[in-house]
Amino acid sequence: MKEQFLDNMDLERERGITIKLQGVEAQTLANVYLALENNLEVIPSFNANIQQIIFDISVTAVQVLNKIDLPGAEPSRVIQEIEEEGIGINEILSAIVQRIPPPPNSAGRPLRALIFDSYYDAYRGVIVYFRVIDGTVKKGDRILFMASGKDYYADEVGVLSPNQLQVDELYAGEVGYISASIRSVADARVGDTITHYSRKAEESLPGYKEATPMVFCGLFPIDADQFPDLRDALDKLQLNDAALKVKLIPRFVFICLFEPETSSAMGFGFRCGFLGLLHMEIVQERLEREYNLSLITTAPSVVYKVFCTNGEIVDCSNPSALPEQGKRKSIEEPIVKIEMLTPKDYIGSLMELSQDRRGEFKEMKFITENRASLTYEMPLAEMVGDFFDQLKSRSKGYASMEYSFIGYKESDLIKLDVLINGEGVEPLSTIVHKDKAYSVGRALTQKLKELIPRQMFKVPIQACIGTKVIASEALSAIRKDVLAKCYGGDISRKKKLLKKQAAGKKRMKAIGKVDVPQEAFMAVLKLEKEVL
């Protein structure tokens, strides 16, 4: 058996985090409500939000300390263990048996089992992981998925110990798996309730609270022929990642499904919503590693609330969907509360970083003589770029941070468009704060000038707010030396040749089209992630 069996993905071992559920997992804030309500009480100890949830739900919890440097951690109340070496694990398991009440005896009730994970097996179809809340389930039972309305016969049921082990029957309180030759990934979703077809439960279990995506980006296959493969991969990935939200993008327009599009900048792709930046990175890496895809990701964006003059409120996660300036009354952006833990030597540098990102200082307190906690309120859009990388760089890797969404706040935001040869390039448009528009526009135009190949005519590259140009660069034309054949003679002959060349360049510019290479898009999108 491998060491660290629960973290058996290469990506988990590289990053030192748990990504994929393996029956029993440390619960994060994203699913802690469900975890606590269903007695999955091995949670990080200490997180103020989780502590409040424990108090609100009134459940018994066994805490395992994994962030000893956080303020409020109480090591004396926590069972000591080192998971990688197996020290203290038996004590934790004994504490769970002693402290956590057993599930009630509900064998006589109709079956109700909650799906908490699933994956697709090429030979057996969808394999569902679930926890039995009421009743029992055994091989040969005809089961019904209450949300999808689909029914199947259970070919195999079993437990995870930690590999799949077939058993005759599962009872209330047990966690196990079921194989039923399910071929459609949409039939068995995380959070659905399994019941018996012949003896249906009256109501389904509450399931998971719908996850609200906070960060959005576009995913595009570098090879257009991989688009069907990307669609299938996202369908299968959504089986065990219910927080991933996917929307089809025709070409590069994010407005709505099946919206016609004339730009061929990126081809077909998907608009995806994520819980945060780490979630976004993990999904991309899993798609590339597990499904052999080569992907381009656009710069991450957030959801803005746009208040229109007609009273309508529009949720906008992409510049293409932003109403025209004359129709907008105001724009609100999501605000997060950020707590940074840092050695005192780096306080000044991190405060400067936060203020540069429009952060509003709230509190500073010293946890120990040499370690402090900084609290800021900051626009989420300012954090989704390279904020975490900058934090690590400025603190030499010693600082850490966590953030939580607190609400929306009105802000002076504008749409920055990029025009190449007078034509707008929607994939490069972005929503920025008015104070940063010039610096972002200047950086984008300069980068594009470096990356776009020279044409036979002069190509203007402009960054605009509405009709106002705020930054501009020009790509000089490739020109032939038409005077090379003139050896002396009348100057009027030379002027005539130059005038004829200029007229030809002007005609070329009027009918010419500038193709922006894919490498330029990739470089500029990377630049957007850094400057926004």
CATH number at residue 248: 3.30.70.870
| Whole-angstrom distance, CA of residue 450 vs CA of residue 438 | 19
Q: Which amino acid is at 345?
A: D
Residue 334 vs residues 196, 206, 302, 381, 384: alpha-carbon distances, Å:
44, 28, 8, 8, 12
Query: Does one domain contain both 338 and 293?
Result: no
Quick check: is 104 in a domain?
A: no
Residue in 110, 154, 114 with CA at minimum distance from that of residue 131: 114
Element (H, E) at 88: none
Residues 6+ apart with CB under 8 A from 152: 142, 143, 145, 180, 181, 182, 187
Q: For residue 420, list its beta bridge partners.
A: 423, 461
Quick check: is 125 in a domain?
A: yes
Quick check: is 385 in a domain?
A: yes
Quick check: is 39 in a domain?
A: yes
Of 270, 300, 330, the domain-final residue? 300
Q: What pTM does this model have?
A: 0.60
Query: Does one domain contain both 527 and 418?
Result: yes
Query: Tokens in use for 361?
Result: 């200082």
Query: Does one domain contain both 439 and 516?
Result: yes
Query: Does one domain contain both 235 and 326?
Result: no
Query: Tokens in use for 82?
Result: 């080192």
Of 356, 383, 411, the domain-final residue? 411
| Whole-angstrom distance, CA of residue 413 vs CA of residue 433 | 4
* Cβ–Cβ < 8 Å for 217, 272: yes
Query: Tokens in use for 126?
Result: 């969808």
* Cβ–Cβ < 8 Å for 262, 320: no
Q: State the Rg of the chain over Cα.
A: 29
* Cβ–Cβ < 8 Å for 54, 42: no
Quick check: is 122 in a domain?
A: yes
Of 300, 329, 346, the domain-final residue? 300
Residues 6+ apart with CB under 8 A from 104: 172
| Residue that is written with structure tokens 């003139």 in the block | 486
Query: Does one domain contain both 184 and 120?
Result: yes
Query: Does one domain contain both 464 and 481?
Result: yes
Torsion sign, CA atoms 160, 161, 163, 165: negative
Residues 6+ apart with CB under 8 A from 62: 41, 42, 79, 92, 95, 96, 99, 100
Quick check: is 93 in a domain?
A: yes
| Whole-angstrom distance, CA of residue 523 vs CA of residue 525 | 6
Q: What is the DSSP secondary structure assignment for residue 178, as one 8-state letter?
A: E
- Angle among Cα 525, 427, 518 to the nearest 5 degrees reads 60
| Residue that is written with structure tokens 């004339």 in the block | 262
CB atoms closer than 10 angstroms to residue 11: 16
Query: Does one domain contain both 419 and 514?
Result: yes
**What's the total number of domains in the chain?**
5
CB atoms closer than 10 angstroms to residue 16: 8
| Residue that is written with structure tokens 């109501």 in the block | 203
Query: Does one domain contain both 351 and 340?
Result: yes
336 phi and psi, to 5 degrees?
Answer: -120, 155
Query: Does one domain contain both 524 and 426?
Result: yes
Query: Does one domain contain both 165 and 252?
Result: no
Query: Does one domain contain both 343 and 368?
Result: yes
262 phi and psi, to 5 degrees?
Answer: -105, -20
One pLDDT digit (tens) per residue for the chain, 532 residues: 455 555 566 666 666 665 555 544 433 433 444 444 444 444 444 444 444 444 454 555 565 555 555 555 555 555 555 555 566 778 777 877 787 777 777 777 889 998 887 888 888 888 988 889 889 999 999 999 988 888 999 999 999 877 888 999 998 888 899 999 988 777 887 788 999 998 888 888 886 655 667 777 778 887 878 888 888 888 777 766 655 655 544 333 222 222 223 334 567 788 787 777 777 878 888 888 888 888 877 777 788 999 998 889 988 877 877 888 888 899 999 999 999 999 999 999 999 999 988 999 999 999 888 889 999 999 988 887 678 878 888 998 888 888 888 999 999 998 888 888 888 777 778 888 888 889 888 988 888 888 888 776 678 889 998 889 999 988 887 666 656 666 666 677 667 766 766 666 555 444 446 566 666 665 665 665 555 5
* Cβ–Cβ < 8 Å for 108, 79: no
Residue 23 vs residues 6, 50, 115, 116, 347: alpha-carbon distances, Å:
9, 21, 11, 9, 41
Query: Does one domain contain both 380 and 452?
Result: no
DSSP 121-149: ETTTEEEEEEEEEES-EETT-EEEETTT-
- The residue range of the domain holding 28 is 10-99
| Whole-angstrom distance, CA of residue 396 vs CA of residue 389 | 10
* Cβ–Cβ < 8 Å for 342, 374: yes
